[in-house]
Chain A
């Protein structure tokens, strides 16, 4: 089934630990995005990638890093997790970053940092 998969579905993590959230899409989309969703704040862009091999910072990039080694995968890493990174994380993709193209979202990862 075409779409975006994210793993894990949920995770409880001790502060200070390193964590990588995985995202894979099979739609051959060039652009991929990571958002965090917090109550009352909507969806905020963490990092994005317009095409494989390139990445950029979004609205709230501090404490997060990404890589885009190939078209399909876009992992998000928390080098040293802090409680303020407790959130629901969504990966999304679109055919390209320009134009008027739909962003497709994954099912999300619920992360709790204690």
Chain B
């Protein structure tokens, strides 16, 4: 089955700086890569996703890049703000189900 690895496990950034989270996947058949944000005490919420036929996608301060050849994808958050502090999960979808990375706890320092 699919194996998704996510790095780093924790990330502390100064407010206004950028944050980058990287994920690798094992199954070349995976074709959909969503990113979820989980705030304390809540369920994960989709923030951005990318399909395998696209190399990059941007939505305001967040962007995701995908390298199918290397089987890795990354989340970029620019101009970080305190409300960006949360746990972020990457995931890869093959056929019918999502496989999640272990998560990255992002802390934005004021």
Residues of A within 8 A of B (CB): 4, 31, 33, 35, 40-45, 48, 50, 58-59, 90, 92, 97-98, 100, 102-108
Contacts and interface: CB of A to CB of B under 8 A. Distances in A.
B97 A43 contact: no
Nearest to B89: A42
B98 A103 contact: yes
B43 A107 contact: yes
What's the dominant secondary structure at chain B's contact region? Answer: strand
Interface of B: 1, 4, 6, 9, 31-32, 34, 36, 41-46, 49, 51, 89, 93, 95-103
B44 A105 contact: yes
Contact of B102 (A40, A90, A92, A104): A40
A43 B34 contact: no
